[in-house]
Amino acid sequence: MMSLPPSLQRWFDTRGWQIHPHQQAMLARKDEPALLLIAPTGGGKTLAGFLPTLVELGADPAPGLHTLYVSPLKALAADIKRNLRVPVEEAVLNIRIGDRTGDTSSHVKRRQRADPPHILLTTPESLALLTSYEDAPRIFAGLQRVVVDEIHALAESRRGDQLMLALARLSTLCPGLRRVGLSATVDDPAAIARLLAHHPDPCAILTADPGPDPDIRMLVTDQAPPWSGGGAAYAIPAVLEQVRAHKTTLIFHNTRAQAEIFFHNLWLANEDALPIGIHHGSLDRVQRERVEAAMVAGQLRAIVCTGSLDLGIDWGDVDLVIQVGAPKNVKRLVQRIGRANHRYNAPSKALLVPANRFEVVECVAALDAVKAHDLDGEPRGPGPRDVLCQHILIAACAGPFDADQLYTEMTGAGPYAGLSRAQFDDCLNFCATGGYALRAYDRWQRLLQRPDGLWQLRDPRSAARIRQNIGTIQDTDTLKVRWRGRGGAPLGEIEEGFAASLTKGDTFLMGGQIVRYEGLRELVVEVSRDPGSKPKIATFMGTKFATSTQLSARIVAMFQQDDWPGLPPHTAQWLALQRCVSRLPEPGRLLIESFPHDGRQQMVVYGFAGRNAMQTLGLLLTKRMEEMGLAPMGFVATDYATLIWGLDAVTDPVPLFDLDALEAGLDGWLAGNAVMKRTFRASATIAGLIERNLGGQRKSGRQATMSSDILYDTLLKYDPDHLLMQITREEAMRGLVDFARIREMAARVGDRIDHVTLDRVSPLAAPLFLEPGRVPVRGSADERLLAEEVTRLMDDSGLAQVDAARKPAWRVPF
């Protein structure tokens, strides 16, 4: 058994702490090439990750980088730096710790490159940037260990793929580099281990004691939740009651807009003036940091927040977590609950607050799943090639490379272990020449193969442009919001589409305050204070979680009960009402409702096939409707239903669901829809075809949208098999298409389609009208609406009369 060095042991003793068994195990197995630790929140994961480093460095280490720590959040890196200094200083270890993120100043960064600290804390993007420098071998010389924190969160996106390519580079630079992953409880630890391991090395999995089951319930209120909506305003008095009864409460919301509205309502009802703050990703950084500091200092009784507080920052004495809105995903719910009672072996306490009656059903299904330890998850596919292209360019920035060696290195990254040489060569060709069928850039290749066979940048100046575009996070198009006037303080950001819909005098919520839109100046939204009026709702979105299919299946199963003693009476009555005016979805059948609403014809398909498949169904159905002349205008998909609106009503949906015709539509669908263009835009940006930052000047999102759509249309017309079109298709199939589940749904329902025509919105359909993420369909409806609008504008402005009078006598002879 490995024992702690005396100074560290004394530090544990003075604190009265015992080393946890999993911390001991991490220490004992520290020489293994890769280790994955699965531990619940509050299990001392981070210390477990760092203990071997502290032991190896000892009291008086030699200079040079020893351990690299990578976390998904900049704030987490800063937080760990603070926390790690405590044992280092109190055990009198002469260890230097530095953090390096997008927020680190340039002179600190320069110093770090010249003289790296023993422990460097960073993010996947900053690490990728570091590996792009010519002096990367010198910076990383002597590196022994990499600790990847919250690896379960990184595994959910391309950031995980990017990180593993960067680690593959580090393993080339530093043979013998050991890897440690720290993860919250997940459904499939082996998949995370495969991601982390340097292929084909093994990665052992250590599982810490999960601790006692959480104390989790649905919040009981006197008042019933509304039929629809996401505000949960009805629960404000009950939530305030809970805040009063606890020391510190975290109140989680699924979207930023919901958090804003709830926070506003909470303050209106907060008669005792309890100190309550708000924290989400759209708020200005200074504002967020102020809330974080107040929270650490124990000055806040409650914080209204979104996923921005999901990850492991230690927020002190949280003794209650409230989840407002359906949790959507059991795994994430369990991780969120862990935020309460950040002490090992004490049960976390949590309350679920459904925002409307459908969510009551979802919450009850989620509670059942938590009790059954039934976590959900989707399998992780192979690493996307757009990230690979980015890393080929990064490798070129660092210096000339050999293609064979780079291929070998990249297939050492877990997500790319199965990458074929031909696929790699396609990516290399794309980076070098664009990879077009028309070879136009032979003279101006981005990468050149030298006579000695190595590849290098043709123009060294392109290194700066490539570095500026490193990263895989896709920003939604947002605009900064400031108070009006010279030097007005920044408030945060809103979506550009939302900003475009505002006219002077409109009001919306920002950081809990009602503000009035004054105008747009140099891409900054200027607002003024507006104390009185009721706000127009902000539509900026937080991360939108998909309800897992496991949870969806539990919900449909619950619908089949004759009555619902497990549900509150109001929700049971609502389901009964749906059964009375329409019907409830059944396993093995497909329910479709048609009704007029909002001046449009609406159709709801209750497929329960998961958000992605329902989205695809929306695309394919609207495509068929367009062909059939039904003028669809758009659709929105949730995990359980797709709502399609258009100018004409669907009277017979059965022909729409011909699986062969739907699949034929899938083949032809590359011909231009919003989801494909969105996917293309992301992949083209990551692969380096579209440059996000030019000379430090960020293009406005609108211009970027425009040019990526034009590029997409051009490739579709002239080069449909281009690598980026292949990647777009792969990514869409994997993420947004999920056609397999549509096929599964079609097989499941066969011809058992129940079409119900109603004269108004059904109880079950109502929540769909509040769902964000509406996808417009560009087709005949545009031309019909445009004709209407032109007539109206011309009539209103009086130009119609003027033009009638001006009609030329001369006519075009056709």
Partner 1 sequence: MFRLCAAMSHVFAFRNTQLVALSSGALYWPARDLLVVSDLHFGKSARAARHGGAPLPPYDTVETLLRLETDLTATRAREVICLGDSFDAPDIGAALPEDQLLWITRLQAGRGWTWIEGNHDPGPVGLGGTHLAQTTVGPLIFRHIATPAGQGEVSGHYHPKARLGLRGRTLTRPCFLLDDQRLILPAYGAYTGGLATTAAPLCALMAPDARAILTGPSPLVIPMPR
Instruction: Tell me which residues touch partner 1 (CB under 8 A).
Output: 433-434, 436, 438, 440-441, 443-446, 457-459, 461-462, 465, 497, 500-501, 599, 633-634, 688-691, 703, 706-707, 710-711, 714-715, 717-719, 722, 776, 782-783, 785-787, 789-790, 793-794, 797, 799, 803, 806, 808, 810-814
* N-terminal to C-terminal alpha carbon distance within the chain: 94
For residue 474, the one-letter residue type is Q
Nearer to partner 1 among residue 101 and residue 708 (C-beta): 708
In whole angstroms, how close is the CB of 213 to partner 1 at the nearest point?
Answer: 46
In whole angstroms, how close is the CB of 799 to partner 1 at the nearest point?
Answer: 6
Encoding tokens for residue 91? Answer: 């055990």
In whole angstroms, how close is the CB of 455 to partner 1 at the nearest point?
Answer: 15
Nearer to partner 1 among residue 233 and residue 457 (C-beta): 457
Place of tokens 């504002």: 287
Nearer to partner 1 among residue 455 and residue 608 (C-beta): 455
Nearer to partner 1 among residue 274 and residue 674 (C-beta): 674
Encoding tokens for residue 72? Answer: 């998904």
In whole angstroms, how close is the CB of 726 to partner 1 at the nearest point?
Answer: 14
322 near 348, Cβ under 8 Å? no
Strands 642-646 and 600-606: antiparallel
In whole angstroms, how close is the CB of 329 to partner 1 at the nearest point?
Answer: 30
Nearer to partner 1 among residue 450 and residue 717 (C-beta): 717
In whole angstroms, how close is the CB of 814 to partner 1 at the nearest point?
Answer: 6
In whole angstroms, how close is the CB of 504 to partner 1 at the nearest point?
Answer: 13
In whole angstroms, how close is the CB of 727 to partner 1 at the nearest point?
Answer: 14
- Cα distances (Å, whole numbers) of residue 769 to 2, 227, 572, 615: 60, 12, 22, 15
71 near 80, Cβ under 8 Å? yes
In whole angstroms, how close is the CB of 695 to partner 1 at the nearest point?
Answer: 11
- Cα distances (Å, whole numbers) of residue 576 to 218, 540, 579: 21, 34, 5
Nearer to partner 1 among residue 137 and residue 776 (C-beta): 776
Nearer to partner 1 among residue 2 and residue 786 (C-beta): 786
Pairwise CA distance, residues 67 & 118, whole Å? 6
**Phi/psi of residue 602, nearest 5 degrees:** -115, 145
Nearer to partner 1 among residue 57 and residue 397 (C-beta): 397
In whole angstroms, how close is the CB of 437 to partner 1 at the nearest point?
Answer: 9
Pairwise CA distance, residues 619 & 548, whole Å? 21
Pairwise CA distance, residues 666 & 715, whole Å? 18
DSSP state at residue 695: T
Pairwise CA distance, residues 644 & 618, whole Å? 7
Nearer to partner 1 among residue 314 and residue 713 (C-beta): 713
Nearer to partner 1 among residue 222 and residue 442 (C-beta): 442
Encoding tokens for residue 140? Answer: 């990383």
123 near 157, Cβ under 8 Å? no
What would the DSSP string read from start to end of 645-678?
EESS--S--GGGG-HHHHHHHHHHTTS--HHHHH
| CA geometry: angle 452, 454, 460, nearest 5 deg | 115
Question: With DSSP H G I counted as helix, E B as strand and the rest as coil, what are the percentages for the chain, rounded to 5?
Answer: 45, 15, 40
Identify the H or E element spanning 592.
strand 590-597
In whole angstroms, how close is the CB of 770 to partner 1 at the nearest point?
Answer: 14
- Cα distances (Å, whole numbers) of residue 672 to 40, 420, 713, 725: 45, 30, 7, 12
Nearer to partner 1 among residue 458 and residue 583 (C-beta): 458
Pairwise CA distance, residues 63 & 142, whole Å? 9
Pairwise CA distance, residues 707 & 409, whole Å? 34
